């Protein structure tokens, strides 16, 4: 079941940047840009680099390994928006000074 979980606090993520956190066994990249938080899967779908370590420009993050760009709000691959290649995005909320993200449970293994 998906429910919001506190992963960081205000001040932990620098303005204009991202940090990665392990949530329910998944690495999640949380970005803080123009006063808003957003969250996507931290693993680049190309070869698995940490997107939280990428360069943030407007609403996109540039992967540090091969420069593919992803939307930090939707996970869309900005270099080819019509492609099925994308990364997941997750709801984020601020409760007091707690940054919370809602990540679904991993599917049980058959
Ligand atoms: S690992 Fe991200 S673009 Fe290659």
Domain limits of the chain? 4-102
- Please tell me if the CB atom of residue 49 comes closer than 6 angstroms to any atom of ligand 1: yes
CA 61 to ligand 1 center in whole angstroms: 11
Substitution candidate for ligand 1 out of 51, 53, 68 with most atoms within 8 A of CB? 68
10 close to 35: Cβ distance less than 8 angstroms: no
Residues forming a β-bridge with 36: 33
- Please tell me if the CB atom of residue 68 comes closer than 6 angstroms to any atom of ligand 1: yes
Query: Which regions in the chain score pLDDT beneath 50?
Result: none
Q: pLDDT value at position 1?
A: 67
Is CATH 1.10.340.30 correct for 4-102? no
Distance CA 17, CA 95 (A): 20
* 27, 29, 101 from 10: Cα distances, Å: 19, 15, 13
Nearest CA to ligand 1 atom 4: 66
- Tell how far CA 36 is from the center of its chain: 13
Nearest CA to ligand 1 atom 3: 66
* 6, 57, 92 from 103: Cα distances, Å: 11, 25, 9
Q: pLDDT value at position 106?
A: 76
Query: Which among 49, 48, 19 has a CA at the least distance from the CA of 33?
Result: 19
Q: pLDDT value at position 91?
A: 97
């Amino acid at each position: 079941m998906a429910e919001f979980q506190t992963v960081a606090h205000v001040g932990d993520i620098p303005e204009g940047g991202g940090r990665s956190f392990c949530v329910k066994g998944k690495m999640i990249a949380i970005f803080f840009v123009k006063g808003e938080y957003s969250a996507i899967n931290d693993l680049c779908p190309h070869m698995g680099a940490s997107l939280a370590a990428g360069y943030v420009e407007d609403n996109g993050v540039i992967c540090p390994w091969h420069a593919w760009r992803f939307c930090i709000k939707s996970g869309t691959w900005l270099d080819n928006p019509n492609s099925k290649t994308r990364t997941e995005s997750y709801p984020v909320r601020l409760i007091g000074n707690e940054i919370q993200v809602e990540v679904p449970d991993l599917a049980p293994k058959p």
